[in-house]
Amino acid sequence: MAANVLAVLALGGANPALAAEAEREIAATLDDGTIVEAVTLSGDNGVSVTLLSLGATLWKFMAPDRDGVMADITIGSDDIQSYKTRPNYWGVTVGRFANRIDGGRFTLDGKTYQLPTNDGENTLHGGGNGFDVQNWTVSKVTQGSKAQAVFTLVSEHGDSGYPGRVEARTTYTLDDDGALTITFDASTDKPTIINMTNHALFNMAGQGAPQGAMDNILTIPAARYTPVTENLIPTGELRPVEGTPFDFRKAKPIRQGLRDGGNQQIVYGRGFDHNFALDKGVTRRPELAARLEDPVSGRVLEVLSTEPGVQFYSGNFLDGTYVGKNDTLYRMGDGIALEPQKFPDAPNQPDFASARVDPGKPYRHVMVYRVSVAR
C-alpha cells in the first residue's frame, strides 16, 4: 500500500473504551489517473479490515486463530488495477442487482428494460459496468467505540440500462468484538430494482492455505433452495434440501457433495452456485444466514442478514489463471462466497421477494460478518 497518507485518525485521548481505530490513505493510482483510497478499520481484539474506494470493496480481513496467529481470511488480489480491468468480484459491493437476471431483461410497470449481458445470455452482478468497478467517494471516516467508513455513489438514470437515478451508500462498521456490519442504502427518483450485497470469498484457514477452503465446515439454516436451469437461472421452484448435497442445516465440510456428478444441480453449477431460501425470511434485524468454521485454526465466521436468501458459491470458476494475494495461484475451492441477497432473477419471478424500489421508499440491506474463535 502506498505511503502517501491522506489522513490518519489517531485514537487520541486516554479513554480505553474508545479502542476502534481508522486510517485513511491512498492505495493506488489507476492507469486512467483514478485515485483509489484505502480505509483500514481496526478493533481492540486485533481484527481489522481494509476497504477500497474502488467498488467499495472489502479488500483484506485480518482475523486471529485460537493461538492468536493473524491471517487474511479473504482471497483477492494485491493488484488494485486488476479489480477494474479483470474484475472477479472479490469483496466488492455488488449492484445495482446482485446475481443473475434471465436474458438481461425485466419488466417494470409495463415497460421492458434491457441490460448488458455479461454471463452468456444473462446479466450478472450489474452487467459488467456495475457498482464493483466504480470508484466510490469516501464520504466519512470515524472511530471511537466503533470504527466506520461510509462510501457513496450516484448511478444516473439509464446507467447500464437500469431506470432511475440512484444514490447508493455502503457503510462498514467494525466493533471491538470482531463484528463487521455492512449497511447498504439506496434511494431512487423513479421505480427501479436494487439488490446489493458484498461478494467476499472466504477461507477461514487463511487465504493461500494449501488445503484451500473445502475443509471449512459450513452451516446454512435453510430447508429449501432455488434449483436452476443449465444457465444458472432459478426455475421458480423452492426445492427441499433434505436428502441432497444442499442440506447444510447440520454443519458439514464443504467438500461433502461438491463433486456429486449424480446430482444435476451440482453438474449445472460445477459445484455449489445456488441460492438458499433462509428459514428466517426477510427480517427487520440481521439474523443468521450462514456459519463457516475452519476446524484446524478455530476461526469462525457467522454471516447475518436482513435478506431472505444467501448465495453459496464454492469458487467453481477459479481455474488457475488468477494470481492473487501473495502471488497465490487460485484454483477451484480456494475461497467461497456467502452472499446474502434477494433471490436471483427476482424481477422475473413473481413468487420471489420483490426487488422493486420506489421514490420515497428507500432500499436497505444490513448484513454482518462476525468473526470469532472456537476453542
Q: Are 347 and 363 in contact (CB under 8 A)?
A: no
| Residue written as grid cell 434511494 | 187
Distance CA 36, CA 371 (A): 27
Q: CA torsion sign, 286 to 288 to 289 to 291? A: positive
| The residue type at 82 | S
Non-local CB neighbours of 158 within 8 Å, separated by 6+ positions: none
- Please return the burial class of 240, using the count of CB atoms within 10 Å of its CB with bins 0-12, 13-18 and 19+: exposed
Distance CA 326, CA 335 (A): 15
Closest CA to 195 of 149, 274, 239, 130: 130
Tell me whether residue 199 is one of the annotated catalytic residues: yes
Distances (CA, A) of 364 to 161, 168, 233, 307: 22, 10, 25, 10
Distance CA 153, CA 166 (A): 8
Distances (CA, A) of 267 to 101, 262, 354: 20, 8, 29
Non-local CB neighbours of 237 within 8 Å, separated by 6+ positions: 226, 227
166 alpha-carbon distance from chain centroid: 20
| Residue written as grid cell 446454512 | 220
Catalytic residue from among 21, 37, 125, 199: 199
Tell me whether residue 157 is one of the annotated catalytic residues: no
Distance CA 162, CA 106 (A): 10
Catalytic residue from among 23, 37, 307, 339: 339
**Catalytic (active-site) positions:** 199, 339
